[in-house]
Structure 1
Amino acid sequence: MYRMKKRMVLGVSVLLALSVTLVWLAQGRTDPIFKDEYDEKAKSSRYTSSWVWPEKDSVSHRGGEGSGVSTSPSGYVYYLHRGDGSYANEELITTPTITVFDPNTNEIVDEFGDNLFQSPHGIEVDSQNNIWVTDIMLNKVFKLDERGNVLATFGDDYRLGTETSLRIRNELPNFPVPMNEYTFARPTDVTVMEDGSFIVADGYRNHRIVKFNRDGNIQWEVDAYGSSDGEFNLPHGITHDQSGNIYVADRNNARIQVFDQDGQHLSTWDDTEIGRPYGIDAGNDGNIYLVDGGDYLNGERETPKSQIVVLSPKGEVIERFGSWGNKMGQLRIPHDLTVLEDGTIFVAELLNERLQKFTITE
């Protein structure tokens, strides 16, 4: 009888310990923030739109999900798409994933990126015309020359058990994962400074931004999961301005966070009209441009919204334009944008699988 009671006590103790451990592992989970409804009608619009690529009913040139877009110092626009692949693709995409355009004529200058990526996500062209691409399945950041040849890759390979641990951590935020600070977990975007250092938004699973010097050595990271200032819930897009300040589209927190070049938090912009920012770019006019992808991928399918938003250097909404749809000027989950020196905006659309151009008419 004594032994039976002892076993029962031991069993209860083990169950209690497991329960406490599971409760602790599950703590800290942050749900996406949903904002109050705003009027989708444009506040103002100085733009006319045109559909750049792929051409309607084109057979020779077909693009996949529009994931990223960037402008180069040489004046070209680099459009990143997923070709014959898709989000979380498990095999290398066999068709070109980067299409280069002349922004004045909309003509294709070059195409490459086949058999290189599984699920390309973010793109940046630096001051030396090098192309940087993040891949959320390969968990790498690629540095390419302007013709698409690989110059370097960043991100340590996963150890045994890392992928399984990350999947568990998706549900239990405090679950330990065997990875170091040089290992990415679905990195979403990258921005490159003038000195060749770069900052990665890392991203779907790590909830951090991390800065490397030009040789790939870590300088600092902001690694915190949550919704307070300096914390992230899916840092999705990232850019920097001429002063070196860093702007992060904190997607599931439905806000923009601003940091200085040393990673110190400066401000948080969470105006209702900002919506849910996916991609972000700093214009030469000092304004910050973003695409609001709306709540469609967060389950809101009845009244989906997608817009382009222009903010002042202080985060004030200057104008919004665009609406949900697949016609000219409409958007369906704009995933990224880039702004040219003359103010022209190019937008990569996820669901419409196209690159759209917005030109100032004033």
Structure 2
Amino acid sequence: MLVKRKGQACLIASSMVLLVLFMTVLYSSSSTQHPSSPNLSRDYQLLGRPLYKLDLGWPRKPELFTGDVFAVAVNQHTGVVYVAQRGYNVPKVLVFSTDGDFLMSWNTTTLEMPHGMFADAASDSPTVWITDVGNGPYGHCIKQYTPSGKLLQVLGTPGKAGSGLDPLQFDQPAEIFVHDSGELYIVDGDGGMNNRLIKLSKEHRVLWMHAEKGQGLAQFYIPHSVTVDAAQRVWVADRGNKRIQVFNSITGDWLGTWGSCFTEDAPYSVRLTPDKKYFVVVQLNTNQISLLDAPPVGLIGQCNVVSVIQLSEDVKPHLVDLDLTAGALYVAEIGAQQAQKFIPFSLGGSLY
């Protein structure tokens, strides 16, 4: 009888262990998925120093993503996130709060194929800039909208690809960065005839430009993203050449190149964290978001990867933007057809 009772006790204990293991696996699996959107990709790994973690609750209605998500832009002063998507019969821009609430959509017919986006939050009247790489009557342009989606102005010649400067012409312009001064930095284009970095004045006059295709210094092959730091340096994701090139924002002089960090895949997007410590760089084909040490003033040196967010296969992160007040990172993901929010560990506590 004693042996039988011991056997029953062992069986019960084994069952409890199996139950605990099952619940652990079930919890771990469910914690990486949004409860209302099982098709959205929430799996990721952190490599190196853990700097960001996924905000599983943003947005509150992820089912609103119905197209291929190409770009995000944040206005940190108003707490608004703009998401640009492509697709047939889908709203081209979705607007969310930084807390995740859905605010509105733009059902504008003036956007064909949005590519890059920038929220100009420095002025008294905030606006949103979007690059359009479409081949129709509204394509090959850069457009400025009100926060509600009203078209204000167009840079470029609508529907006509070109390289002209007076009047301005673009061919699949990839991205725009608007400085607090009102000066504009444009990378043009996303696979078209142009491979240009252009700086425009506030009045849209060309101040300087690099426009040669090639692999040499200050030459480009598919310049894809651009940002400007506080040290008067312009950082360009030179996608086709698998490198980032750096220029003086005042003179346009070439300052340096980072290439050793991008041997496996090209940089698609480049942004600077609010604390000025790291550059956030996206690599689409390897599904990675990397954080690189930002060099001190006067020194470019070699790139150094500090942290990597490894996304699951076929997510295809494209362009990113950061909330310069809260520090949150927003990622546009073409393959997963979604935008995701990552928050600094200092704001969200531990990973678990």
Tell me the TM-score normalized by structure 1.
Answer: 0.71
**Which of 127, 130, 137 is matched with 1:133 structurally?**
130
Q: Give how far 1:227 is off.
A: 1.1
RMSD of aligned residue pairs (Cα, Å): 2.3
How many angstroms does 1:44 deviate by?
2.6
1:202/1:270 CA distance change after superposition, 3 Å: same
Distance 1:147 1:243 in 2: 33
Task: Please tell me the residue identity of whatever aligns with 1:350.
Answer: I
Residue type at the aligned position of 1:218: V
Higher strand share: 2
Unaligned residue ranges in structure 1 (runs of 5+): 1-39, 86-93, 164-177, 295-304
CA distance in 2, matches of 1:242, 1:151: 28
Which amino acid is 1:335 matched to?
H
Contact kept in structure 2, 1:158 and 1:183, CA below 8 Å: no
Bigger CA radius of gyration:
2
1:62 aligns with 2:51: no
Deviation per CA, 1:239-264: give whole Å up to 9, x if none: 11123321111111111111111321
> Partner of 2:260 in structure 1?
271
Amino acid at match of 1:142: K
Change in Cα spacing, 1:356 to 1:345, as seen in structure 2 (3 Å) is same
> Match for residue 145 of structure 2?
144
- Give the secondary-structure state (helix, strand or coil) at the position aligned to 2:177: strand
Alignment equivalent of 1:116, drawn from 104, 110, 113: 110
Structure 2 distance, partners of 1:248, 1:291, is 12
CA distance in 2, matches of 1:77, 1:316: 32
C-alpha deviation, 1:113, in angstroms: 4.8
Structure 1 SS opposite 2:48: coil
Partner in structure 2 of residue 153 of structure 1: 154
Alignment-derived partner of residue 22 in structure 1: none
Structure 1: which amino acid aligns with 2:141? Answer: K
C-alpha spacing 1:247/1:54, structure 2 compared with 1 (3 Å):
farther
Match of residue 310 from structure 1? 291
After the TM superposition, which residues 160-239 of structure 1 pair with which residues of structure 2 at under 5 Å, given as runs?
179-181=163-165, 182-203=168-189, 204-205=191-192, 206-239=194-227
Aligned position for 1:72: 75
| Between 277-286 and 348-357, the greater mean CA deviation after superposition | 277-286
Distance 1:75 1:280, change over 3 A: farther
Aligned-pair CA distance for 1:78: 2.9
CA distance in 1, matches of 2:293, 2:308: 15
Runs of 4+ in 1 over 6 A off after TM superposition: none
Residue 346 of structure 1 aligns to a residue in which SS?
strand
Aligned counterparts, 1:31-50, within 5 A: 42-50=47-55
Deviations 1:299-326 (A, max 9, x none): xxxxxx2111112222632423233426
1:190-238 Cα deviation digits (max 9, x unpaired): 0011221211110122011111112222222110111112111100011
CA deviation after TM superposition for structure 1 residue 158, in Å:
6.0
Distance 2:116 2:215 in 1: 23
Alpha carbons 1:80, 1:122 under 8 Å: kept: no
The answer to whether the 8 A contact 2:84-2:114 is kept is: yes
d(CA) in 2 for partners of 1:255, 1:148: 34
Deviation at 1:155, TM superposition (A): 0.5
| Cα contact 2:322–2:328 (8 A) shared by 1 | yes
TM-score by length of 2: 0.73
Q: Which amino acid in 2 is paired with 1:130?
A: T
Q: CA deviation at 1:41?
A: 7.2
CA–CA separation in structure 2 for the residues paired with 1:116 and 1:179: 22
> Which one-letter code corresponds to 1:260 in the other structure?
N
Of 268, 286, 289, the match for 2:280: 289
Secondary structure of the 2:47 match is: coil
CA contact (8 A) 2:224 2:268 kept: yes
The yes-or-no answer on 1:101 pairing with 2:96 is yes
3-state SS of 1:276 partner: coil
Q: Which residue of 2 aligns with 1:300?
A: none
What amino acid does structure 1 have at the position aligned with 2:261?
A: T
In structure 2, the residue matched to 1:319 is 306
* Residue identity (%): 23
Where structure 2 has 5 or more consecutive residues not aligned to the other structure, the ranges are 1-44, 296-301, 347-352
